[in-house]
Amino acid sequence: MSVIAVIGAQWGDEGKGKIVDLLSEQARVVVRYQGGTNAGHTIVNDLGTFKMRLIPSGIFNPKAICVIGNGVVVDPGALLVEMDELEQRGISCARLLISERAHVLMPYHVLLDQLEEQQRSEGGVGVGTTKRGIGPAYQDKAARIGIRVGDLVREEALLTRLSFVLNHKNQILTRLYNAKPLSLHQVYLQMVDYGHRLRKHILDTQLVLYRAMDEHHNILLEGAQGALLDLDFGTYPYVTSSSPTAAGACLGSGIPPSALDNVVGVYKAYCTRVGDGPFPTEIEGEAADYLRSQGGEGHQEYGTITGRPRRVGWFDAVAARYAARLNGIGGIVITRLDALDTLPILKICTGYRVNDAVIQHIPSDISVLQQVEPIYEEMPGWQTPTTAARSLADLPEAARAYVKRLSALIVARIDMISVGPARDQTIVLDRPFDSLPNIVGKYVGAVGEHNWGE
């Protein structure tokens, strides 16, 4: 048995969905542990192409139980749409469980996200959120005025709680934002309806996880967003409102930290970022448009859900190593290597210059990160398609050298290299579920003994 967390190790959209789908073949339980419909995880497998928002990417393994953990903020309407879409395509959601401790993303959260973001933007401190209500939902959780998924099936208690909370929200909507109030009657009936429709999926999911651990099953914890968007350790305030890190995986699922056997960090072979905030290795202009257009039809660098163009840049090894340490990453997955196939020269950032000093970490002071100058090393491109590679030996020498260099700079070993969106477009070097147990906390800096072909 192993418990493995798969986390995004950059600013999100690293290809976590593809990797979780692949690893789910070996998992008995797959848990989404934080975030909400701000996530968009694309999966391409034998059953088709899917864009997941709340449902764990393990749903395609008919033997896996999929859990929406307590750390997720659940928009019930969006979840029901996602479930219907899957069912219509022949994928059963009967094995989907939702933690009764997860918080409900309410209609006022979406309104407030839009209004708050507009106000922040006018004040010059916009974050560029997805406007899906994520920040306001987590605010209410922390303020202890959230509605939890379990409340949806306790109708009397729901009415009492909602009467108070909606009155409070309506005062903010009308007095602060001059917006229309929401009707208690309508919101309540809608929530009761959601409760009826989701009832059979709602339970105390921790008990399911403990049983799976007692019975020695493999458990996969699926992160959304990425380490650099973490509320505490990301590029604050340009972050999301949850903890996408390995620590968040425990908190958002109920798995004790001592039970985590490995943390797999998913990195793109370069960097992207959606929304505002510092991005030291960002490329702009024609070169950026070119990189953004790579990855194949339907897999170019545009937001999975919002359609926003993603900002693109060179691989940032300073940020990558920071994420590896923060999360105790024991295995790396490099994705979208194929997106670099046509470039003649590749750059990797190995340090940040600030005034006369060189720093090797992400400074907490955002104004410093905004002015750092990346120090680059250059490597030759391979200018050969890699999408058909299935082993290290199939990769051009320059591609092998590039990936090996990333591994050395991140100081962790490579488990997999992804060369296309489809499940089988993957070079598997080490299957995380078959690796040594309990390496978390024993961050030894080993880069592994793969045959790099030298």
Which residues are designated catalytic?
A: 13, 41
78 binds ligand IMO (CB under 6 A): no
Residue 318 contact partner, candidates ligand GDP, ligand IMO, Mg ion, none, CB within 5 to 8 A by sort of partner: none
- Residue 327 is which amino acid? N
Single residue of 5, 6, 7, 8 touching ligand IMO by CB under 6 A: 8
338 binds ligand GDP (CB under 6 A): yes
23 binds ligand GDP (CB under 6 A): no
Single residue of 44, 134, 212, 395 touching ligand GDP by CB under 6 A: 44
Residue 44 contact partner, candidates Mg ion, ligand IMO, ligand GDP, none, CB within 5 to 8 A by sort of partner: ligand GDP
413 binds ligand GDP (CB under 6 A): no
8 binds ligand GDP (CB under 6 A): yes
| Nearer of residues 3 and 340 to ligand GDP, judged by Cβ | 340
Give the full edge-to-edge strand order of the sheet including 331-335: 202-203, 96-99, 65-68, 29-32, 219-222, 3-8, 262-268, 331-335, 413-418, 426-428
Binding segment for ligand GDP (CB under 6 A), chosen from 10-18, 154-162, 198-206, 356-364, is: 10-18
133 binds ligand GDP (CB under 6 A): no
Binding segment for ligand IMO (CB under 6 A), chosen from 100-108, 191-199, 218-226, 393-401, is: 218-226
CA atoms in the 13 A half-sphere facing the CB of 186: 6
Dihedral class, residue 147 (left if φ above 0, else alpha if ψ from -120 to 50, else beta): beta
100 binds Mg ion (CB under 5 A): no
| Nearer of residues 99 and 272 to ligand IMO, judged by Cβ | 272
Give residues in contact with ligand IMO (CB under 6 A): 8, 12-13, 38-41, 127-130, 132, 134-135, 224-226, 229, 240-241, 274-275, 304
